[in-house]
Structure 1
Amino acid sequence: MHTATNYYLFSLAISDLLLLVSGMPTEMYHIWSNYPYVFGETFCVLTGFASETSTNATVLTITAFTIERYVAICHPFLSHTVSKLSRAVKYIMVIWVLSLCLAVPQAIQMGIFYPLDDNGNIETEEYSACTVKYSIIPYSFFVSTVVFFLTPMTLITVLYVLIGVRLHRSSQITEGGSQRRRALLSDKEAPLVVRGSQRNGPHSKSTKRVVKMLVAVVVAFFVCWAPFQVQRLYSVFGFAGDDTTHTAFLVHKVMTYASGIFYYLSTTINPILYNIMSLKFRQAFKSTLTKCLGRDRLRHSGDLASCGGGSLGAEEITKIGIKMRSITMKWKCPK
């Protein structure tokens, strides 16, 4: 269980949990009582800081995990050096330190905002909201969007495209090699090769499953985080800017609800994409859940001991990458 991949997944689980704890209770309260904001200025700032930290940590962890997968599949021999456990721990520590530091500029600009009349006076306190109140650091939220959404989105997409290309090319090399061997062998030896090629079926299915997961990761990242970034930029340049009319409040309210759904949905999708699609994880999870319920402890304890760690794209991708590299080297240097 003590692998670099599992440490990244643990960091991702912590950031997702922090995101839920820092935001979900107040969100649930606002469902029943949207206005006014009753938790005070300090709680508003602290909640914003925790939410910003967890968001930064989630995005950076996903990005680091993507790089680790890219190295595992495209440079499998290098991964034994780059993906060492000690280095993974250092990377995770750097991720959380950066997440904390880069959350401060956004958090100090949070506060309770009140709608103003034409004279700049508070029109009513009944519609107070915890949002961006000050503009202390110009364009800080725009820079945050570029650093924590546009750049990671671009990097993740490019790396997964490269992984997909490598998987596709390697599968073609495998199929071409099987056909070449069948052409060179006699009819008597051919059935043995056919049976050998049939054993490559699970490998091909595993490759396709990995490719589908890579596409799902990119799509899920964009769908979950794009609405949140758009809503936040609108809060800074629209709702909290010169336009403080009733229409602006209505648009902000609708965007907040819509983006909030996808924002918290990301904490549900991440475990599905990075864990539950793994057979070993499902076996371990089933065994752990059974133990918690107090049923069939002895029967499932053996499954847990034998299932090991890892996730789809970790062990599996590394093994596929090493196998592909060996196949490529074999056909480049025929005996």
Structure 2
Amino acid sequence: MFNETSYFYDFNINEWAELLAETVKERPEWVRLLFMSMMLTVFVVGVLGNLVTCLVIYYDRNMHTATNYYLFNVAISDFILAFGILLELRSYRKTNLGTGSDYRYVYEEFGDLICKVHSFFVVALMNNGILTLTVLAVERYIAIWHPLLLKRKPIWRRVMKVIALIWIVAICEALPEVWTMALIKTEKLAICFIVPTTFARLLNGLLALVTFVIPLSIMLFVYSMIAFKVNVIQRNNSRDKIFNQRDNRSRVNKLIAALTVSFLVCWLPYFTIRLLIFASNMRHTPWYAQNWDLLLMVCSFNSWFSIVLNPMLFSLMSTKFRKALKMLWTTKIRRSPEMTRSVMV
């Protein structure tokens, strides 16, 4: 049933397939419809929200700052990533099998190749978002503690080099994971999932550290230092020496701190799965049979929900963004009556 490669020789693939068949159970109709509705909402809001974010930053020159360039990169990545939800939604459609009804994953229609390709693009795009938010936090830390360091090079050139490096690292992190993914088939199930070989378990342990523990630690340290700096400045009544009304840096820092909290909420379940694959005995853990299916659903929704939180937080917490959005609506999308009359004259 399975095409075993050298990576799989140290693990019983059939046993893993049987475990998944037992734990990934057929869900009640209302659960399936609720989950699909939530995912569809995430898709619509994610596409529109990230598209609006990109348009506002692109058209408004006042939004052309280092912080917004990084947020633009996240929005582009999340906009592309949102379309991966369509494949996820198809996986939850109800189909009729010879023995009854089941929820078949769409990968079965296309084979192992689409499983690996889809996994690569999703992981690479998600890694790009994680790395960008981490770099963004470091950028704000340097801007507050060592502002002269950021004035030595033009903003555009410096940020573009960093973003290019982020994409390279994101792709390099995603490539090894392709070799751990496989299309696992049973009589009732066809699922694209990690095969917990020795290589896959070590890789997931490493990626849990690189994509969650290290970024979260950096963000917590950076924002603790920023909060400390702000408190010291406020006590000395010299806030204007670092913050100015035009840049409104305090609001920017609140925004990025909120993005950090959203990072924790969205990626903790995914980190938990990586940690379980790395540290647990996959053959002799009764816990999986009771909770694995629920953890998969939570992980799936929370990781996709990240594409909604970023633009929502950006628009809700930034007065500058809301003003730029209003200006975009007035001048580009729906021209004001004054402009319309002037054109007619």
TM over 0.5, yes or no?
yes
Q: 1:298 to 1:64 in 2, by over 3 A?
A: farther
Determine if contact 2:259/2:313 at 8 Å carries over to the other structure: yes
RMSD: 3.1
Q: 1:213 to 1:38 in 2, by over 3 A?
A: closer
Deviation at 1:164, TM superposition (A): 0.4
Deviations 1:144-169 (A, max 9, x none): 11011100100111010000000011
User: What's the CA shift for 1:52?
Assistant: 0.9
Could you tell me which of 249, 257, 260 is aligned with 2:297?
Answer: 257
For 1:6, the equivalent position in structure 2 comes to 68
Q: For 1:84 and 1:32, locate their aligned partners in 2 and report how far apart those are by CA, in whole Å.
A: 47
Once the two structures are TM-superposed, the CA of residue 134 in structure 1 deviates from its matched residue by 5.7
Match of 2:126 among 40, 45, 55: 55
Residue 244 of structure 1: how far off its partner (Å): 9.0
Aligned to 1:174: 237
Structure 2 matches for 1:293-308, cutoff 5 A? Answer: 294-296=334-336
Given the alignment, which residue of 314, 319, 332 partners 1:279? 319
Q: Secondary structure at the match of 1:242?
A: coil
SS at match of 1:129: strand
Identity %: 29
- The amino acid of 1:77's aligned partner reads L
- How far does the alpha carbon of each residue in 1:94-118 deviate from its partner, in whole angstroms, 9 at most, with x for none? 110111121011122111224xxxx
Distance 2:188 2:297 in 1: 19
**Structure 2 residue aligned with 1:112, among 170, 179, 183?**
183
Query: Are residues 1:28 and 2:96 paired?
Result: no
TM-score, normalised on structure 2? 0.67
Larger radius of gyration: 1
Please give the secondary structure, in 1, of the residue aligned with 2:236.
Answer: helix
Q: Indicate if the aligned counterparts of 2:205 and 2:274 stay in contact, CA closer than 8 A.
A: no
Q: Aligned partners of 1:283, 1:263: CA distance in 2, in Å?
A: 30
1:221 to 263, 276, 281: 263
Report what 2:191 is aligned to.
Answer: 129
Task: Give the 3 Å change call, closer, same or farther, for CA 44–169 of structure 1 in structure 2.
Answer: same
Instruction: Indicate which of 216, 219, 229 corresponds to 1:153.
Output: 216
* SS in structure 1 of the partner of residue 189 of structure 2: coil
Distance 1:293 1:88, change over 3 A: closer
Quick check: 2:182–2:193 contact (8 Å CA) kept in 1?
yes
- Partner secondary structure for residue 36 of structure 1: coil
CA distance in 2: counterparts of 1:228 and 1:3, whole angstroms: 32
Give unpaired runs (5+ residues) of structure 1. Answer: 115-123, 178-196, 301-335
Is the partner of 1:111 in helix, strand or coil?
A: strand
Q: In 2, Cα distance between the equivalents of 1:230 and 1:173?
A: 43
> Aligned AA for 2:322?
R
Unpaired stretches in structure 2, ≥5 consecutive residues: 1-60, 95-101, 341-345
SS at match of 1:54: helix
C-alpha deviation, 1:64, in angstroms: 0.8
Displacement of 1:130 in angstroms is 1.2
Match of 1:17 among 79, 101, 110: 79
Contact 1:18 1:51 in 2 (8 A): no
